[in-house]
């Protein structure tokens, strides 16, 4: 069964035809995609994860961790850009894997992308709730801890995180163009606030806070990179917008690489200022930027940053919830998930049921889990998807050298191989408990695949129909016509011809 589903790849011709007949509306340009990427990348990494990673793993050396993680993400972005330009279809790494590596591998990637986006969304919503609480405190109103913290943190539910999730889900449900327009405004506010933080904070930087630079040793840099890699996953969301992009072959590479480059520069600048404002040990919070400004005595700046962080993190929620719903949509369209996930709203042209389910799961995650557990789980799913995508580039270069590639990964095969090695290195440096949770997640995914997805796969249905027709036609004893007969294999977009042997005149 596994061997069959590994060999069963999605024909590239069918994917290209699917692009032409998409029910989604093409409204996004290159600037929209860059804003989409920045909207997803910048937010959680700067406003949430930096504090935990500095306090627990890397200290001031976190700036080096961001450089290392940025290199890993950059390599993966080059790989994604090639596949996104060649196969501009919703589904991102899931769709690429289906075309190159087979259905079983594609399911694993899709299942990991679900983990990546839903868990990452949960972490983002948790950070939003923390900044909202800080903002209320800065104006003299303290919210009850029972309603702003998870049970593991001494509360009952992170109610702000739950409410903002449902609000964002409604916005994404209303339509792609509306979401993109709101996202552009939010990204502008977010970038302005980040620049304000750097300008104000640099005056209060105390170089003594950068010593020791590596309190956890060199290994802390690697562990920190493995943790904060979660901050870079937003560029993957750009690839999921392929079917809603006006000129995907040109605009997708621009959106992926452009958003990643801008975000990496800002990450490095903010990390240097943040760890210079206060000792790294005081940053173990889900709202480190606001906390640092409050502790150096700039409360009004803390309020402004909190407002900007809320806006910025909201844009991350918009983009990631958008991306998660498109993953559901692509997998359901292939039969690997129930067809209800592929339903498109007749008025708003969005996969509304996928948005509803994703929003519900994220709300539960944000309401009842702590930030430390959530961020680690998102990383391992993301890195696994990056590895498989890089393998897909190498395989498609060999299997389909004729495939039009508007953007080609430079330095192939070296670049994809280095991307695989770096991603695997970061995975191996994640905490052991993360591996255990990941193993449980994968076990659940395999059960679902063999119980439901394998049987309902559109390619499996085609194979069964093809075999049934061959079985029915086999007993019919008719003379073979003296002409070529064309057969079409459901797993191959190219038909093949068979010419019957002719009898010798002397026989």
Q: Which two tokens stand for residue 73?
A: 């993400």
Confidence of residue 153 (pLDDT cuts 50, 70, 90): confident
Confidence of residue 273 (pLDDT cuts 50, 70, 90): very high
In whole angstroms, what is the distance from residue 30 CA to residue 246 CA?
9
Mean per-residue pLDDT over the chain, rounded: 80
Confidence of residue 214 (pLDDT cuts 50, 70, 90): very high
Half-sphere exposure of 41 (CA within 13 A, CB side): 32
Domains along the chain? 27-430 (1.20.1740.10)
> Which residue do the tokens 């520069």 mark?
265
- Residue 27 vs residue 307, higher pLDDT: 307
| Model confidence at 5: pLDDT above 70 | no
pLDDT tens by residue, 373-397: 676 666 787 788 889 889 989 998 9
In 3D space, the residue among 378, 368, 360, 381 whose CA is nearest the CA of residue 129 turns out to be: 368
In whole angstroms, what is the distance from residue 363 CA to residue 162 CA?
5
Residue 412 near residue 397 (C-beta atoms within 8 A): yes
- Residue 239 vs residue 318, higher pLDDT: 318
Mean pLDDT throughout 495-504? 45
In whole angstroms, what is the distance from residue 345 CA to residue 87 CA?
25
pTM: 0.73
In whole angstroms, what is the distance from residue 122 CA to residue 133 CA?
17
pLDDT value at position 180?
Answer: 64
User: N- to C-terminal Cα distance for the chain?
Assistant: 46
In 3D space, the residue among 282, 323, 269 whose CA is nearest the CA of residue 45 turns out to be: 269
Mean pLDDT throughout 10-26? 62
> Which residue do the tokens 């270069």 mark?
397
Which residues are CB-neighbours of 444 under 8 A, at least 6 positions away? none
Which residues are CB-neighbours of 408 under 8 A, at least 6 positions away? 82
Mean pLDDT throughout 222-244? 75
pLDDT value at position 64?
Answer: 93
In whole angstroms, what is the distance from residue 387 CA to residue 312 CA?
29
Half-sphere exposure of 179 (CA within 13 A, CB side): 31
pLDDT tens by residue, 104-123: 989 998 998 888 788 878 88
In whole angstroms, what is the distance from residue 134 CA to residue 149 CA?
13
| Model confidence at 82: pLDDT above 50 | yes
pLDDT value at position 242?
Answer: 67
Classify 124 as helix, strand or coil.
Answer: helix
In whole angstroms, what is the distance from residue 111 CA to residue 226 CA?
20
HEC readout, 404-463: CCCCCCCCCCHHHHHHHHHHHHHHHCCCHHHHHHHHHHHHHHHHHHHHHHHHHCHHHHHH
Q: b/e string for 41-68 if b means 16 or more Cβ within 10 A? A: bbbbbbbbbbbbbbbbbbbbbbbbbbbb
């Amino acid at each position: 069964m596994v061997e069959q589903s590994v060999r069963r790849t999605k024909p590239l011709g069918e994917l290209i035809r699917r692009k032409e007949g998409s029910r989604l509306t093409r409204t996004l340009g290159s600037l929209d995609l860059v804003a989409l990427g920045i909207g997803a990348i910048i937010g959680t990494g700067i406003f949430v994860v930096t504090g935990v990673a500095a306090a627990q793993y890397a200290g001031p050396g976190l700036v080096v961790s961001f450089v290392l993680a940025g290199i890993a993400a950059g390599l993966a972005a080059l790989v994604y850009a090639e596949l996104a330009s060649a196969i501009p279809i919703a589904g991102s790494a899931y769709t690429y894997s289906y075309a190159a590596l087979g259905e079983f591998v594609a399911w694993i990637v899709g299942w990991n992308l679900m983990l990546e986006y839903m868990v990452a969304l949960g972490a983002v919503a948790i950070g939003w709730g923390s900044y909202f609480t800080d903002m209320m405190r800065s104006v003299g109103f303290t919210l009850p801890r029972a309603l702003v913290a998870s049970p593991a943190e001494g509360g009952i539910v992170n109610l702000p995180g739950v409410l903002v999730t449902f609000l964002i889900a409604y916005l994404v449900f209303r339509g792609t163009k509306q979401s993109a327009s709101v996202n552009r405004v939010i990204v502008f506010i977010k970038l302005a606030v980040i620049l304000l933080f750097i300008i104000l904070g640099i005056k209060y930087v105390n170089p003594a806070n950068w010593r020791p630079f590596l309190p956890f040793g060199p290994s802390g840099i690697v562990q920190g990179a493995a943790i904060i890699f979660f901050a870079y996953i937003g560029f993957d969301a750009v690839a999921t917008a392929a079917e809603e992009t006006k000129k995907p072959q040109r605009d997708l590479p621009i959106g992926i690489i452009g958003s990643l480059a801008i975000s990496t520069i800002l990450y490095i600048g903010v990390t240097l200022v943040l760890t210079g404002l206060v000792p790294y040990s005081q940053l173990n919070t889900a709202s480190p930027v606001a906390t640092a400004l409050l502790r150096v005595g700039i409360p009004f700046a803390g309020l402004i940053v909190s407002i900007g962080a809320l806006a910025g993190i909201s844009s991350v929620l918009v983009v990631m919830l958008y991306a998660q719903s498109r993953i559901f949509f692509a997998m359901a369209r292939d039969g690997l998930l129930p067809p209800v996930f592929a339903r498109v709203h007749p008025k708003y042209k969005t996969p509304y049921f996928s948005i509803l389910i994703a929003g519900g799961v994220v709300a539960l995650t944000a309401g009842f889990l702590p930030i430390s557990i959530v961020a680690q789980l998102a990383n391992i799913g993301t890195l696994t998807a990056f590895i498989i995508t890089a393998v897909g580039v190498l395989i498609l270069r060999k299997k389909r050298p004729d495939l039009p590639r508007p953007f080609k990964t430079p330095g192939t095969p070296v670049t994809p191989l280095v991307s695989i090695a770096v991603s695997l290195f970061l995975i191996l440096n994640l905490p052991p408990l993360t591996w255990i949770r990941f193993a449980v997640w994968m076990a659940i995914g395999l059960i679902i695949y063999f119980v439901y997805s394998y049987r309902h796969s559109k390619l499996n249905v085609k194979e069964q129909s093809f075999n049934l027709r061959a079985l029915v036609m086999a007993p019919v004893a008719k003379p073979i016509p003296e002409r070529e007969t064309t057969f079409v294999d459901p797993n191959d977009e190219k038909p093949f011809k068979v010419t019957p042997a002719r009898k010798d005149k002397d026989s």
